[in-house]
Amino acid sequence: MSDLDTLAAEADRGIAAAADLAALEALRVALLGKQGSISALLKSLGAMSPEQRQAEGPRIHALRERVTAALAGRKEQLEAATLEARLTTETLDLTLPSPEAPRGAIHPVSQVMDELAEIFADMGFAVASGPEIEDDWHNFTALNMPETHPARAMHDTFYFPDQMASDGRKMLLRTHTSPVQIRTMVADGAPVRIIAPGRVYRSDSDATHTPMFHQIEGLVIDRGIHLGHLKWTLETFLKAFFERDDIVLRLRPSYFPFTEPSVEADVGYAEVGGRRVLGGDGNAPGHGWMELLGSGMVNPRVLEFCGLDPSEWQGFAFGVGVDRLAMLKYGMDDLRAFFDGDLRWLRHYGFSALDVPTLSAGVGVRA
């Protein structure tokens, strides 16, 4: 074994044994530093004869390279070990809670109104609105309910004693969304295809009635619109809203002063686990009919009030409770809770901001 081999073996041993970066650095200086043993060997090349240099040169260079690599390898090892050791001191208890972001919610009434707007948009209905503080002409008279009409008294109207419209009309809180029919026809004429959602008011308060609630009105005026179109529209809308093809509608003659003929629409339901689930024929076993909405062909008198010629234009209107639709679809059972602002209720029955109703994703939000 030559001196070089001995030196190489010693260097390997020393490098492998270096316990930390400082020891390794000391070794590097001892081997490759200015005064290092390998540096001395390299310097000794200059004093050699060309033949000798040719023989020794590659060996010495090889030794230097080998030691350099060994030093680098050991350095990497020691650094990795140091990092590991540091990281073990940085351990976090990740079962601890992360910062909480507040969770918001959309009210079911808003969500359902958005759903309805989406469904009816597909059928070509725009969304109209009107004032909640109305005059009695728009709320009653133009809807074919003269002052002494018995149906007026049935509306449990809230009145404002101190204000009058400029034309002497009595001011009141609208009892239904139907005055929007009048305003739309007076302003835009015909044809019309609108829905009008909004707050309505009746001086009525008990377990199932609140003095304020939400309605959505539908109105179609065109040439040749008849009762069959009304039936189709209601069926189509209810099937889309409840996302069930087995919705069965039963039309029943009824009376509203502003429609003629007037029909009430019942929907078949099944009693499932104490809850009414819409769908199926109401006459089938275990089923029943639920009164859901009022509708009819717009009374020619109403068209005349709005300046439309009933011999040219006809159409239908319907009105349905939005809160009621929400309850039937999403399972709430207490109307009063809708207006209490209880965060617990709102988070439970409310919707994510991202639950934007779309036709492609489905307008409803499954539980």
Partner 1 sequence: MKFSLAWLRDFLETDATAEEIAAKLTAIGLEVEALEDPAARLAGFRIARVLTAERHPNADKLQVLTVDSGDGPPLQVVCGAPNARAGLVGVLGLPGAVVPADGFELKQSAIRGVESNGMMCSSRELELGDDHAGIVELPKDARVGMAFADYAGSDPVFDVAVTPNRPDCMGVHGIARDLAAAGLGTLKAKSIESVPGGFPCPTEIRTDDPEGCPAFYGRVIRGVLNGESPAWMQARLKSAGQRPISALVDITNYVMLGWGRPAHAYDLTKLSGAVVARRAKDGEGVTALNGKHYLLDHEMTVISDDAQVHDIAGIMGGEHSGVSETTRDVLLEVAWFDPARIARTGQALALSSDARSRFERGVDPGFVEPGLELLAKLILEICGGEASEIVRAGAPPSGQHTVSYGPALCAQLGGVDVKPPRQREILESLGFTVVESEPRWVVTAPGWRPDIDGPADLVEEIVRIHGLDQVPSTPLPRADGVARPTATPAQALERRLRRAAAARGNVEAVTWSFLPEREAEAFGGGAWSLANPISEDMKVMRPSLLPGLLAAARRNLDRGAASVRLFEIGRRYMAEGERPTLGLVLAGERTPRGWANGKAQTFDAFDAKAECLALLGEAGAPVENLQVMGDSGAEFHPGQSATLRLGPKTVLARFGMLHPRTARAFDLDGPVAVAELFPDALPAKKSGGFARPAYAPPPLQAVTRDFAFLVPETLPAGDLVRAVRASDKANIVAARVFDLFAGMGVPEGQKSLAIEVTLQPGEKSYDEADLRVIAERVVAAASKLGATLRG
Which CB sits closer to partner 1, 161 or 273?
161
C-beta separation of 296 from 317 below 8 A: yes
In this structure, what token pair is assigned to residue 313? 């234009």
Among 343, 348, 358, 362, binds partner 1 (CB under 8 A): 343
Question: Binding string to partner 1 for residues 1 to 30, with x set by CB under 8 A, is what?
Answer: ------------------------------
Residue 114 touches partner 1, criterion: CB under 8 A:
yes
How big is the chain, counted in residues?
A: 367
Q: Applying CB under 8 A, does 229 fall inside the site for partner 1? A: yes
Of the candidate residues 42, 235, 276, 332, the single one contacting partner 1 (CB under 8 A) = 235
Give the footprint of partner 1 on residues 60-99 (CB under 8 A).
Answer: 96-97, 99
Q: Does 275 bind partner 1 (CB under 8 A)?
A: no
Sequence-separated (6 or more) residues with CB below 8 Å from residue 54:
none
Give the type of residue at 300.
Answer: P
Residue number, 4 or 126, with CB nearest to partner 1: 126
Task: Compute the distance between CA of residue 213 and CA of residue 199 in angstroms, rounded to an integer.
Answer: 6
| Cβ proximity of 196 and 180 under 8 Å | yes
Alpha-carbon gap, residue 364 to 349, rounded angstroms: 13
Please tell me the count of residues contacting partner 1 according to CB under 8 A: 93
Question: 33 to each of 16, 40, 197, how far by Cα in Å?
Answer: 18, 9, 88
- Using CB under 8 A as the binding rule, whether residue 299 contacts partner 1 is answered as yes
Contact set for partner 1, span 115-134 (CB under 8 A)? 117, 120-127, 131-133
Nearest to partner 1 of 71, 115 (CB atom): 115
- Could you tell me if 276 and 290 are in contact, meaning their C-beta atoms sit under 8 angstroms apart? yes
Minimum CB distance to partner 1 smaller for 38 or for 249? 249
| Cis? peptide before 99, omega within 30° of 0 | no
Judged by beta carbon, residue 34 or residue 103, the one nearer partner 1 is 103
Nearer to partner 1, 161 or 285 (CB): 161
Q: Dihedral angle at the C-alpha atoms of 271, 274, 275, 276, nearest 10 degrees?
A: 30
Quote the least distance from Cβ 189 to partner 1, whole Å.
18
261 near partner 1, judged by CB under 8 A: yes
Instruction: Decide: is 248 part of the binding site for partner 1 (CB under 8 A).
Output: no
Applying CB under 8 A, among 68, 239, 339, 364 the residue interacting with partner 1 is 339
Q: If binding is defined by CB under 8 A, does position 161 make contact with partner 1? A: yes
Assess whether the previous peptide bond of 285 is cis (omega < 30° from 0): no
Name, in order, each residue with C-beta under 8 angstroms of 75's C-beta and a sequence gap of 6 or more: 21, 24
Among 33, 36, 211, 321, binds partner 1 (CB under 8 A): 211
